[in-house]
Amino acid sequence: MNKLFQYSALALTAMMFSGCASLTKDDYQRMQIETYSKNNSLVSNAKCRAKNDRGEWVVFTAGSFIVHRSDQNLLVSCDKEGEATGYATLISRANDGMYGNILLGGGVGAMLDHHNGNAYSYPDWIRVIMGDNLVFDRKNNEKGQLMLGSPSASVVPNDKKTLVENVLNYLP
């Protein structure tokens, strides 16, 4: 009977954490950023600042940088002498680790991943247009593909849907 209890406890623990983003995702996410002018010319060496509730990062374009994951949007501003400032809001969305938690019953894992930010991701490659204010929504991200932003008026930058609404966005 004792062995049965031990195996049951082990199986339950494995199920609780099987989708856990803390086990499958890092606290940090690598991102690529590039800057272009409104006439579609590459603007190199623009200084971009990215900020969320977990920290602030600086990168010169075109380049890559690493940010701490968060459920809060990532705000980016890019400056270059002779160019208007380019702004971007990267909307954070729940990633597949969080859905694994929900689908496989890992309530403890879901709470942990939400708290430490591992349950969320940003778009991984964006193009900031100097002089524009664009929104990049992770739900439109295709891994390894450049994402073009939408005008900021088309999306509320801090839209925070409930977790259930986010899950429903990814279901067929």
The per-residue pLDDT for range 53-101, each reduced to its tens digit, is: 989 999 999 999 999 888 889 999 999 999 999 999 998 887 665 445 5
Structural domain for 95, as ranges: 27-151
pTM metric for this prediction: 0.67
Does residue 168 lie in a domain region?
no
**What total of structural domains would you count in the chain?**
1
CATH number at residue 48: 2.60.40
Does residue 51 lie in a domain region?
yes
pLDDT of residue 141: 82
Does residue 136 lie in a domain region?
yes
pLDDT of residue 107: 56
pLDDT of residue 3: 67
| Residue 122: burial class (beta carbons within 10 Å; 0-12, 13-18, 19+) | buried
